[in-house]
Protein backbone atom coordinates (compact mmCIF):
# COMPACT_ATOMS: atom_id res chain seq x y z
CA UNK A 1 0.00 0.00 0.00
CA UNK A 2 1.30 3.43 -0.94
CA UNK A 3 2.06 5.62 2.05
CA UNK A 4 0.69 9.19 2.20
CA UNK A 5 2.84 12.17 1.36
CA UNK A 6 5.29 12.87 4.19
CA UNK A 7 5.14 16.65 4.23
CA UNK A 8 7.53 17.00 7.16
CA UNK A 9 10.26 15.07 5.33
CA UNK A 10 9.60 16.87 2.04
CA UNK A 11 9.72 20.30 3.68
CA UNK A 12 12.99 19.38 5.40
CA UNK A 13 14.43 18.25 2.07
CA UNK A 14 13.62 21.54 0.32
CA UNK A 15 14.32 23.75 3.33
CA UNK A 16 10.79 25.08 3.73
CA UNK A 17 9.49 26.16 7.12
CA UNK A 18 6.60 28.47 6.24
CA UNK A 19 2.80 28.27 6.48
CA UNK A 20 0.89 25.16 5.45
CA UNK A 21 -2.02 26.80 3.66
CA UNK A 22 -3.40 26.55 0.14
CA UNK A 23 -2.49 30.10 -0.89
CA UNK A 24 -0.60 31.68 -3.75
CA UNK A 25 2.18 32.75 -1.41
CA UNK A 26 2.72 29.17 -0.24
CA UNK A 27 2.54 27.84 -3.81
CA UNK A 28 5.21 30.31 -4.90
CA UNK A 29 7.44 29.54 -1.94
CA UNK A 30 7.23 25.77 -2.42
CA UNK A 31 7.80 26.05 -6.17
CA UNK A 32 10.92 28.14 -5.61
CA UNK A 33 12.30 25.95 -2.85
CA UNK A 34 11.71 22.78 -4.87
CA UNK A 35 13.46 24.02 -8.01
CA UNK A 36 16.44 25.49 -6.16
CA UNK A 37 16.97 22.33 -4.10
CA UNK A 38 15.92 19.33 -6.20
CA UNK A 39 17.65 19.17 -9.59
CA UNK A 40 16.26 18.05 -12.89
CA UNK A 41 18.28 15.00 -13.95
CA UNK A 42 17.86 11.78 -15.94
CA UNK A 43 20.51 9.52 -14.42
CA UNK A 44 18.03 6.72 -13.73
CA UNK A 45 17.06 6.04 -17.38
CA UNK A 46 20.56 6.93 -18.61
CA UNK A 47 21.98 4.14 -16.46
CA UNK A 48 19.36 1.69 -17.70
CA UNK A 49 17.03 1.52 -14.69
CA UNK A 50 13.23 1.90 -14.79
CA UNK A 51 11.60 5.14 -13.65
CA UNK A 52 8.96 4.40 -10.99
CA UNK A 53 6.15 6.94 -10.57
CA UNK A 54 4.70 5.34 -7.44
CA UNK A 55 4.59 7.91 -4.64
CA UNK A 56 6.57 5.67 -2.28
CA UNK A 57 9.34 5.38 -4.87
CA UNK A 58 9.31 9.12 -5.54
CA UNK A 59 9.59 9.97 -1.85
CA UNK A 60 12.38 7.44 -1.37
CA UNK A 61 14.33 8.89 -4.30
CA UNK A 62 13.68 12.64 -3.94
CA UNK A 63 13.28 12.97 -0.19
CA UNK A 64 15.19 10.00 1.20
CA UNK A 65 18.13 10.49 -1.16
CA UNK A 66 19.95 13.48 -2.60
CA UNK A 67 18.48 12.88 -6.04
CA UNK A 68 16.36 14.58 -8.65
CA UNK A 69 14.49 13.35 -11.68
CA UNK A 70 12.59 14.41 -14.75
CA UNK A 71 9.13 15.89 -15.31
CA UNK A 72 6.87 12.93 -14.54
CA UNK A 73 8.66 12.34 -11.25
CA UNK A 74 9.14 15.99 -10.28
CA UNK A 75 5.58 17.14 -10.94
CA UNK A 76 3.99 13.96 -9.55
CA UNK A 77 5.77 14.54 -6.24
CA UNK A 78 4.96 18.25 -6.26
CA UNK A 79 1.31 17.48 -7.02
CA UNK A 80 1.13 15.09 -4.07
CA UNK A 81 2.64 17.71 -1.76
CA UNK A 82 0.23 20.41 -2.92
CA UNK A 83 -2.80 18.14 -2.58
CA UNK A 84 -1.72 17.19 0.94
CA UNK A 85 -1.90 20.90 1.77
CA UNK A 86 -5.39 21.23 0.33
CA UNK A 87 -4.61 22.71 -3.10
CA UNK A 88 -6.85 21.80 -6.06
CA UNK A 89 -4.41 20.43 -8.63
CA UNK A 90 -4.97 18.92 -12.08
CA UNK A 91 -2.27 17.11 -14.02
CA UNK A 92 -1.93 18.16 -17.66
CA UNK A 93 0.12 16.96 -20.63
CA UNK A 94 2.24 19.01 -23.03
CA UNK A 95 3.93 18.56 -26.39
CA UNK A 96 7.49 19.86 -26.13
CA UNK A 97 8.53 22.53 -28.66
CA UNK A 98 11.72 23.66 -26.92
CA UNK A 99 14.37 24.42 -29.56
CA UNK A 100 12.33 22.64 -32.26
CA UNK A 101 12.11 24.22 -35.75
CA UNK A 102 8.83 26.15 -36.17
CA UNK A 103 7.69 23.80 -38.94
CA UNK A 104 8.52 20.58 -37.06
CA UNK A 105 5.49 18.30 -36.58
CA UNK A 106 3.93 18.08 -33.15
CA UNK A 107 5.23 15.29 -30.96
CA UNK A 108 3.47 13.24 -28.32
CA UNK A 109 2.41 14.54 -24.91
CA UNK A 110 5.77 13.83 -23.33
CA UNK A 111 5.74 16.43 -20.56
CA UNK A 112 3.74 16.71 -17.33
CA UNK A 113 2.66 20.06 -15.87
CA UNK A 114 0.11 21.17 -13.29
CA UNK A 115 -2.94 23.43 -13.20
CA UNK A 116 -3.60 24.86 -9.75
CA UNK A 117 -7.02 26.38 -8.92
CA UNK A 118 -6.80 29.25 -6.46
CA UNK A 119 -9.38 31.75 -5.27
CA UNK A 120 -8.03 34.41 -7.64
CA UNK A 121 -7.90 32.15 -10.71
CA UNK A 122 -5.88 29.45 -12.42
CA UNK A 123 -2.11 29.03 -12.22
CA UNK A 124 0.42 26.91 -14.09
CA UNK A 125 2.97 25.15 -11.88
CA UNK A 126 5.86 23.18 -13.33
CA UNK A 127 8.94 22.15 -11.37
CA UNK A 128 10.20 19.63 -13.92
CA UNK A 129 10.91 21.12 -17.34
CA UNK A 130 14.58 20.42 -17.93
CA UNK A 131 16.19 22.90 -20.27
CA UNK A 132 14.27 25.88 -18.92
CA UNK A 133 13.07 25.33 -15.36
CA UNK A 134 10.36 27.70 -14.18
CA UNK A 135 11.31 29.40 -10.94
CA UNK A 136 7.72 30.24 -10.00
CA UNK A 137 4.17 29.39 -11.03
CA UNK A 138 2.63 31.71 -13.62
CA UNK A 139 -0.95 32.83 -14.12
CA UNK A 140 -2.92 30.77 -16.65
CA UNK A 141 -3.80 33.80 -18.74
CA UNK A 142 -2.93 34.70 -22.31
CA UNK A 143 -1.73 37.96 -23.79
CA UNK A 144 0.41 39.16 -20.90
CA UNK A 145 4.15 39.03 -20.28
CA UNK A 146 4.94 37.49 -16.91
CA UNK A 147 8.27 38.33 -15.33
CA UNK A 148 9.76 35.60 -13.18
CA UNK A 149 13.24 35.04 -11.80
CA UNK A 150 15.58 34.14 -14.68
CA UNK A 151 12.85 34.38 -17.33
CA UNK A 152 10.09 36.40 -18.96
CA UNK A 153 7.21 34.12 -19.94
CA UNK A 154 4.07 34.39 -22.03
CA UNK A 155 1.10 32.12 -22.72
CA UNK A 156 -0.34 32.38 -26.23
CA UNK A 157 -3.64 31.03 -27.56
CA UNK A 158 -2.67 28.95 -30.61
CA UNK A 159 -6.14 27.67 -31.50
CA UNK A 160 -8.11 24.46 -31.03
CA UNK A 161 -8.15 25.04 -27.28
CA UNK A 162 -4.36 24.88 -27.07
CA UNK A 163 -1.91 27.21 -25.32
CA UNK A 164 1.77 27.73 -26.02
CA UNK A 165 4.21 28.60 -23.27
CA UNK A 166 6.90 30.92 -24.61
CA UNK A 167 10.00 32.40 -23.05
CA UNK A 168 11.94 35.50 -24.06
CA UNK A 169 15.52 34.75 -25.12
CA UNK A 170 18.11 37.24 -26.41
CA UNK A 171 17.15 36.08 -29.92
CA UNK A 172 13.41 36.64 -29.35
CA UNK A 173 10.45 34.59 -28.20
CA UNK A 174 11.03 30.83 -28.07
CA UNK A 175 8.27 28.19 -27.84
CA UNK A 176 8.64 25.94 -24.79
CA UNK A 177 5.66 23.59 -24.95
CA UNK A 178 2.07 23.35 -26.21
CA UNK A 179 -0.72 22.11 -23.96
CA UNK A 180 -4.44 22.24 -23.28
CA UNK A 181 -6.53 21.93 -20.14
CA UNK A 182 -7.68 18.34 -20.66
CA UNK A 183 -6.92 16.45 -17.42
CA UNK A 184 -4.47 13.58 -17.74
CA UNK A 185 -4.99 10.28 -15.95
CA UNK A 186 -2.25 8.36 -14.12
CA UNK A 187 -2.30 5.80 -16.94
CA UNK A 188 -1.45 8.56 -19.43
CA UNK A 189 1.69 9.39 -17.49
CA UNK A 190 2.64 5.73 -17.08
CA UNK A 191 2.57 5.26 -20.86
CA UNK A 192 4.49 8.45 -21.60
CA UNK A 193 7.00 7.76 -18.84
CA UNK A 194 7.64 4.25 -20.16
CA UNK A 195 8.40 5.66 -23.61
CA UNK A 196 10.72 8.43 -22.46
CA UNK A 197 12.57 6.16 -20.02
CA UNK A 198 13.04 3.14 -22.29
CA UNK A 199 12.70 3.90 -26.00
CA UNK A 200 16.07 3.58 -27.75
CA UNK A 201 15.53 6.93 -29.50
CA UNK A 202 14.64 8.82 -26.32
CA UNK A 203 17.11 11.54 -25.40
CA UNK A 204 16.79 10.48 -21.77
CA UNK A 205 18.47 7.12 -22.42
CA UNK A 206 21.12 8.53 -24.76
CA UNK A 207 22.37 11.71 -23.11
CA UNK A 208 22.98 13.21 -19.68
CA UNK A 209 20.79 16.19 -18.86
CA UNK A 210 20.72 18.15 -15.62
CA UNK A 211 19.50 21.59 -14.65
CA UNK A 212 19.16 23.54 -11.43
CA UNK A 213 17.99 27.09 -10.89
CA UNK A 214 19.43 29.01 -7.95
CA UNK A 215 19.20 32.68 -6.93
CA UNK A 216 22.66 33.17 -8.45
CA UNK A 217 22.54 31.21 -11.68
CA UNK A 218 20.88 28.65 -13.94
CA UNK A 219 23.13 25.58 -14.25
CA UNK A 220 22.61 23.35 -17.30
CA UNK A 221 24.53 20.19 -18.14
CA UNK A 222 24.30 18.35 -21.45
CA UNK A 223 26.65 15.37 -21.55
CA UNK A 224 30.08 16.93 -20.95
CA UNK A 225 29.13 20.58 -21.52
CA UNK A 226 28.29 22.74 -18.49
CA UNK A 227 26.57 26.08 -19.08
CA UNK A 228 26.19 28.62 -16.29
CA UNK A 229 23.86 31.57 -16.90
CA UNK A 230 24.38 34.09 -14.12
CA UNK A 231 21.60 36.43 -13.04
CA UNK A 232 23.75 39.44 -14.01
CA UNK A 233 23.60 38.36 -17.66
CA UNK A 234 26.93 36.57 -17.95
CA UNK A 235 27.07 33.14 -19.58
CA UNK A 236 29.92 30.71 -19.07
CA UNK A 237 30.45 27.40 -20.86
CA UNK A 238 33.06 24.75 -20.35
CA UNK A 239 33.62 21.12 -21.22
CA UNK A 240 34.13 18.71 -18.34
CA UNK A 241 37.51 17.02 -18.38
CA UNK A 242 37.03 13.66 -16.64
CA UNK A 243 34.91 11.60 -14.25
CA UNK A 244 36.27 13.45 -11.21
CA UNK A 245 35.24 16.76 -12.76
CA UNK A 246 31.76 15.33 -13.43
CA UNK A 247 31.43 14.13 -9.84
CA UNK A 248 32.36 17.57 -8.51
CA UNK A 249 29.87 19.34 -10.81
CA UNK A 250 27.03 16.99 -9.90
CA UNK A 251 27.75 17.58 -6.22
CA UNK A 252 28.33 21.33 -6.18
CA UNK A 253 26.29 22.75 -9.08
CA UNK A 254 23.41 20.29 -9.00
CA UNK A 255 23.18 19.32 -5.32
CA UNK A 256 23.12 15.70 -6.44
CA UNK A 257 24.52 12.36 -5.31
CA UNK A 258 24.49 10.10 -8.40
CA UNK A 259 23.14 6.53 -8.28
CA UNK A 260 26.28 5.11 -9.88
CA UNK A 261 30.03 5.84 -9.76
CA UNK A 262 31.02 8.89 -11.77
CA UNK A 263 33.30 6.68 -13.87
CA UNK A 264 30.32 4.58 -15.02
CA UNK A 265 28.32 7.70 -15.91
CA UNK A 266 31.28 9.27 -17.69
CA UNK A 267 31.67 6.15 -19.84
CA UNK A 268 28.10 6.67 -21.12
CA UNK A 269 28.80 10.17 -22.42
CA UNK A 270 29.90 10.78 -25.99
CA UNK A 271 33.21 12.56 -26.45
CA UNK A 272 32.87 16.13 -27.73
Which residues carry out catalysis?
71, 111, 126
**Cα within 13 Å of Cα(73), Cβ side:** 27
Please give the helix or strand (H or E) that residue 74 lies within, else none: helix 71-84
Q: How far is CA 206 from the centre of its chain?
A: 18
Give, as one character, the DSSP assignment of residue 60.
I
- Please give the Cα distance from 211 to 103 (Å, whole number): 27
Name residue 88's beta-bridge partners. Answer: 117
Q: Is 170 helix (H, G, I), strand (E, B) or coil?
A: coil
Query: Could you tell me the CA-to-CA distances from 4 to 7, 37, 54, 67 in Å, in that order?
Result: 9, 22, 11, 20
Question: Interior CA angle at 16 toward 150 and 28, to 5°?
Answer: 40
Let me know: does 75 contact 21? Beta carbons within 8 Å: no
Amino acid sequence: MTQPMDLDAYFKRIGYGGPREATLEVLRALHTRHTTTIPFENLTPLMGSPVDLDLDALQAKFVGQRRGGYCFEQNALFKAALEALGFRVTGLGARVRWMAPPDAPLGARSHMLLKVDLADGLWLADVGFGGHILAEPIRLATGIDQAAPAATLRLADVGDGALMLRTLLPTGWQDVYRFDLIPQQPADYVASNWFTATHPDSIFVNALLAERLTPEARYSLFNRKLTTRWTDGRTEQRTLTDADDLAQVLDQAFNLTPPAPAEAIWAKLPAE
